Amino acid sequence: MTMDLSRLTSSSRRLHLLVNPFAAAAAHSRRPISTDTSPITVETSAPFTAHNCDEPSRSVETTPQELVSFFRDMALMRRMEIAADSLYKGKMIRGFCHLYDGQEAVAVGMEAGITKKDCIITAYRDHCTFLGRGGTLLEVFAELMGRQGGCSKGKGGSMHFYKKESGFYGGHGIVGAQVPLGCGLAFAQKYLKDETVTFALYGDGAANQGQLFEALNISCLWQLPAILVCENNHYGMGTAEWRAAKSPAYYKRGDYAPGLKVDGMDALAVKQACKFAKEYALKNGPIILEMDTYRYHGHSMSDPGSTYRTRDEITGVRQVRDPIERIRKLLLGLDLASEKELKDMEKEVRKEVDEAISQAKESQLPDPSELFTNVYSKGYGVEAYGPDRKEVRSVL
């Protein structure tokens, strides 16, 4: 684990040589916070491991603006999840609430590597992915609290966030069922000749579902632009991956389909892998990405998260592999931001989240008539009246 730290400091030293000397000089006079778009190249901290394909380069093209946005977005996601934790404990959020803190790098890195025309579909741990796709904090909190202002008008809940216009297809409660849906999205993209791809995310627990292999088989046969992304946080609810999977090399499970194992706590590595995967999938068909990541919370709010793993393990990962800390060190090392600026950013983010929560609390609960809306969409036939054609039982 300490290797990573030294690699980081050594890479930052190397970077000073790669950074444009003019910019370096300019940096002393004016710190380029979120406005500088001059390219920087950063090395990922861990190498990629490939199966049946050539791995992408470890040098990632980025800009200071992008790095700062990574930090801000991940800090926002982290704060949002922690706020959701306290809202749940305060009984404002009920039912199931699956938190993503620790895994933010996957959501943020993926967004950086693709466009909003590409589709993302994931399972129930979707709050941060939704945010990354352009969802607002208000929509998130209102939906979690079951209010009208939520992204699904309060009728979906934590596990059913969707944003059609930015290509976010949910938000699915049944483990693994989103992968065939994702391959269907890829099929539609190929059918309509969109030149876009679909990222179908699932966890290490879902990786053992049969429907994944069925969908992968069909996608490879039809050469669909589908990218299956396994967010391997090493625990399928309470079962560790070595107890659930005979072969925990999820990136190799595609067999005939190529795979890539990525350090999922490094947003830049995720970005590189997703860019690579998009190019690959558009030319050759499906590819599997395995993101090696970790969740700090338990599986959901009803799971303390410490009965199947030790607290030392959790704090260990938090100290050494935390994605936000990694970007913070990178920013400080590259002298793109000062400690104080980053702390101010975090304070801003905290305020934003608090404001969104209070706004969401003011949002109305759905009207009782909403119980019957959107069961069907206005179909080709007539409205289904009650038996004597006087009272409308449901409008189809």
List residues near other proteins by CB under 8 A.
119, 121, 150-157, 160, 162-164, 169-174, 177, 179-185, 187-192, 210-211, 214-215, 217-218, 221-222, 373-382, 384-389, 394, 396
Q: Which is nearer to other proteins, 256 or 376 (CB)?
A: 376
Q: How far is the CB of 176 from other proteins (least distance, A)?
A: 9
Q: Which is nearer to other proteins, 186 or 262 (CB)?
A: 186
Q: How far is the CB of 321 from other proteins (least distance, A)?
A: 33
- Let me know: does 61 contact 275? Beta carbons within 8 Å: no
Enter the tokens of residue 284: 């050759």
Q: Which is nearer to other proteins, 32 or 285 (CB)?
A: 285
- Let me know: does 287 contact 280? Beta carbons within 8 Å: yes
Comparing C-alpha atoms, which of 323, 267, 347, 340 is closest to residue 31?
340
| One-letter amino acid for residue 101 of the chain | D
Q: Which is nearer to other proteins, 228 or 349 (CB)?
A: 228
Q: Which is nearer to other proteins, 216 or 274 (CB)?
A: 216
C-alpha distances in angstroms, 118 versus 79, 121, 346, 393? Answer: 27, 10, 30, 39
Q: How far is the CB of 390 from other proteins (least distance, A)?
A: 11
- Helical (H) or strand (E) element with 178: helix 178-191
- Helical (H) or strand (E) element with 186: helix 178-191
Q: Which is nearer to other proteins, 172 or 326 (CB)?
A: 172
Question: Is the peptide bond prior to 102 cis by the omega test (within 30 degrees of 0)?
Answer: no
18: left (phi over 0), alpha (psi -120 to 50) or beta: alpha
The 8-class DSSP code of residue 165 comes to G
Question: Which class for 116: exposed (0-12), middle (13-18), buried (19 or more C-beta within 10 A)?
Answer: middle
Q: How far is the CB of 13 from other proteins (least distance, A)?
A: 47
Q: How far is the CB of 68 from other proteins (least distance, A)?
A: 32
Q: How far is the CB of 226 from other proteins (least distance, A)?
A: 10
Q: How far is the CB of 48 from other proteins (least distance, A)?
A: 28
Cα separation, 195 vs 197, whole angstroms: 7
Q: Which is nearer to other proteins, 224 or 301 (CB)?
A: 224
Close Cβ partners of 122 (under 8 Å, ≥ 6 residues apart):
129, 170, 171, 172, 178, 200, 201, 202
Q: Which is nearer to other proteins, 25 or 375 (CB)?
A: 375
Q: Which is nearer to other proteins, 71 or 141 (CB)?
A: 141
Q: How far is the CB of 166 from other proteins (least distance, A)?
A: 11
Strands 226-232 and 287-292: parallel
Enter the tokens of residue 239: 């079962």
Q: How far is the CB of 389 from other proteins (least distance, A)?
A: 6
Enter the tokens of residue 123: 């399972």
- Helical (H) or strand (E) element with 235: strand 235-236
